Amino acid sequence: MAATSPLYNQLKDAEPFFLLAGPNVIESEEHILRMAKHIKHIATKVGLPLVFKSSFDKANRTSSKSFRGPGMAEGLKILEKVKVAYDLPIVTDVHESIQCEEVGKVADIIQIPAFLCRQTDLLVAAAQTGKIINIKKGQFCAPSVSLFLLTCFELIQKTFCFDDCVYDELFKVMNNSAEKIRLAGNPNVMVCERGTMFGYNDLIVDPRNFEWMREANCPVVADITHALQQPAGKKLEGGGVASGGLCELIPCIARTAVAVGVDGIFMEVHDDPLSAPVDGPTQWPLRHLEELLEELIAIARVTKGKQQFQIDLTPFRD
């Protein structure tokens, strides 16, 4: 297996957390460069390691008429300019195995979209680039089997004297996607919580997932903007639907995530969310980014969320 990358180690050791941030999709070269400049200034000011995010293609759209971005070739050229101009690492997503090699020439982190988190060929192709892989947990997926089942497995192992390889197979149930990256020879993997489907047009973030996803033995990231998406929940004039969202609750999810002790925050940021061509209702306003980050840092510094609480269940005696 290859060694962990310097950037991966830097992010894993970041205190109180690292930041993946930028506009949802590349709208123009000018806009992306301007956003990168402002977001880097703010991240540097508050002292957070930053990886700049934007997508060259939003393939998973509600409507075939939705804006998707400039495409891979042009989009990667623009992200390369951001990388050089502002000395920033880049995170962007892929949708097909064939994209991974080219994207890996520019991106420092390759992101696997939530709907594709179980696509083995895509995960392996991404892993083979050697870049950091950020896997978003599918809206349809549980983070793992429950801690209760983990305890049961441990008891079964002791009772029936299963060897380690049998126990390992049971454990893989809880972190299959991350394990696919490692089995492909790449230890640089992160997992990202972005909500679970609740009915047809809503997502719910279960804070317990931030704890359970640690079983994957890698950094845990909270997507605090997509987690407030309402898929196909916004009716359009003249018919049709688009994704809606609850931007006003982004601070709520963010506060919860850092209190629990996540390693990283993923958020989409825009200077004019109401005019954004993609996911405007779930992009955080640039003008409020510094204010929110300062609060989150303050919460993260006082919480002990990254440390498992040692609970003593023995009888209490006076």
Q: Which residues are catalytic?
A: 24, 58, 279
Chain centroid to CA 121: 20
CA distance 176 to 185: 15
Query: Could you count the other beta carbons within 10 Å of the beta carbon of residue 202?
Result: 16
Beta-carbon contacts of 262 under 8 Å, excluding residues fewer than 6 positions away, are 17, 193, 210, 220, 221, 222, 305
Beta-carbon contacts of 300 under 8 Å, excluding residues fewer than 6 positions away, are 16, 17, 258, 259, 261
CA distance 279 to 68: 11
Beta-carbon contacts of 250 under 8 Å, excluding residues fewer than 6 positions away, are 224, 225, 228, 267, 282, 284, 292
- Map residue 312 onto helix, strand or coil: coil
The two tokens of residue 44 are: 């540097």
CA distance 112 to 116: 6
Half-sphere exposure at residue 21, Cβ-oriented, CA atoms within 13 angstroms: 31
CA distance 299 to 251: 12
